[in-house]
Amino acid sequence: MLNPFNRIVITGCGLVAPNASNLAEFREKLIAGHSEITRVDLRYFGPAPAGVCHFPETRYRKNKENRKGTRAGCIGVYCAHEALADAGLTPFTDFYDPARVGVYTGLTEHGTVETENEVYALSQYSYDTRYWTHHHNPRTVLNNPAGEITMSLHVTGPHYSIGAACAAGNASLIQAAQMLRLGEVDMALAGGLSEAVGSFGIFASFKAQNALAEAEDPRKASRPFDAGRNGIVISEGGCMFVVETLARALERGAKIYGEITGYAINSDATDFVLPNPARQAECMRLALARADLTPRQISLVNTHATGTQQGDIAECTAIRAIFANCPATFINNTKSIIGHAMGAAGTLELAGNLPAFADGIIHPTINIEEIDPECALDNLVADTARRNVEVTSILNNSFGMMGINSTLIVRKYAAE
């Protein structure tokens, strides 16, 4: 049995999703398959389906700070405070030294939104750079959202961002687990954040790749595995977890959402944007080996699939290679309901499924009207939730551009 100081558990969750601003609401809407994807109108670009978040933005800091900072920072500060409250750590200084707390934010990209807005503002002054804002650098440094969290919470331990495209959410949790095991920190706030709906460039770039979803009803635009899928729905959002060693969590009587028992990150080394199913399968196998689990012991595979033609097929190929003979392993997809929250996707999707350990429900994948035969997976939970399932382990995939793959395995907490 692992030393309890080496066992890493998730004990708090704060989140913002396009359909919720806390875990209970998020879970309820995922089980119901309730999408609130809407349509936004972007500068230069025009209308597009997107996931926009609504939450009490000034609950934990002033509007002045939100205006000075970034949208990712605003989302991150809210999620971090909510996670600590959920973990029973208010104030966290009752139990942890602020110098021994780490803040790790997973980001797909950062600075795109700010730079676009600032260039537009500069255009109103005939591109005279004397009018370029002094806020540009602090807003666009990659550690910005993590730094905003430290200032709001007065955390003085390490803070930085993990840039890992759309695998970044998982990567932030892996970073937290590693730092806890190394004894670098005693508690971590780790998760993914996305402000991508503020950038016309991100939409236009996916459109140029023929990978931006469109549908008359925006709630039906995100349709992974469906034969008629036509691309990604871009969402903003965030999810920060409180991550601790099991020893400290038990010492303070914390509620435990789950234990991080396996993880892996690897690289395709093949293409800027096209996925590589062989490397994805390797990533899942490595995470399983580290978790000391066989595929049959996985209760739920939460897929990364984003609704692109090639991406969904690649992941299904990889999953089939590992889970073909696993009758008790269910598969679902959260992006069908909330769109693709980019850097936040990994942790948001994990959060949305962690309650399955307690409620025994697998939330559905929605918008599959006609399954793509190449995406037909055994035990894919579609349309309606699957109930009365004994969920003991969740495997969460998140993949990203430049050929980065991540797999995280979280088990239901058991003393032994």
Partner 1 sequence: MTTSDIKQVILDIIADIDDEADFSDLNADKPLRDQLDLDSMDFLDIVMELRKRYKLQIPEADYPRLATLNSCVDYLQPLLQNA
With CB under 8 A as the contact rule, the residue among 131, 251, 271, 384 that binds partner 1 is 131
Pairing of strands 101-107, 159-163: parallel
Pairing of strands 393-400, 300-302: parallel
Options 81, 110, 159, 340, the catalytic residue? 340
Options 166, 316, 326, 375, the catalytic residue? 166
When asked if residue 127 is in the footprint of partner 1 (CB under 8 A), the reply is no
Q: Which residue has the tokens 């997976």?
A: 377
When asked if residue 126 is in the footprint of partner 1 (CB under 8 A), the reply is no
Comparison of 121 and 227: residue with beta carbon closer to partner 1: 121
When asked if residue 120 is in the footprint of partner 1 (CB under 8 A), the reply is no
Contact by Cβ (8 Å): 294, 288: yes
State the amino acid at position 174 in one-letter form. I
Pairing of strands 187-194, 101-107: parallel
The residue range among 131-139, 189-197, 305-313, 365-373 that interacts with partner 1, by the rule CB under 8 A, is 131-139
- Retrieve residue 45's tokens: 């670009």
Q: Could you say which residues in the range 136-175 bind partner 1, by CB under 8 A?
A: 138
CA distance 305 to 333: 7
The residue range among 23-31, 94-102, 128-136, 271-279 that interacts with partner 1, by the rule CB under 8 A, is 128-136
Comparison of 39 and 136: residue with beta carbon closer to partner 1: 136
Which contiguous run of DSSP H or E holds residue 45? Answer: none
CA distance 261 to 91: 28
Q: Could you say which residues in the range 54-93 bind partner 1, by CB under 8 A?
A: 62-64, 67-68
When asked if residue 130 is in the footprint of partner 1 (CB under 8 A), the reply is yes
Comparison of 57 and 312: residue with beta carbon closer to partner 1: 57
Comparison of 94 and 130: residue with beta carbon closer to partner 1: 130
**In the complex, what is the shortest distance from the CB of residue 143 to partner 1, in angstroms, rounded to a whole number?**
16
When asked if residue 123 is in the footprint of partner 1 (CB under 8 A), the reply is no
Q: What angle do CA 378, 398, 290 make, to 5 degrees?
A: 85
Total residues contacting partner 1 by CB under 8 A comes to 12
3-class secondary-structure state, position 321: helix
- Retrieve residue 226's tokens: 């469906």
DSSP category for residue 317:
H
CA distance 107 to 104: 10
Comparison of 130 and 208: residue with beta carbon closer to partner 1: 130
Options 81, 110, 159, 304, the catalytic residue? 304
CA distance 291 to 299: 14
Give catalytic status of residue 340 as yes or no: yes
Give catalytic status of residue 134 as yes or no: no
Comparison of 66 and 333: residue with beta carbon closer to partner 1: 66
3-class secondary-structure state, position 232: strand
- Residues near partner 1 (CB under 8 A) are 62-64, 67-68, 125, 130-131, 133-135, 138
Active site residues: 166, 304, 340
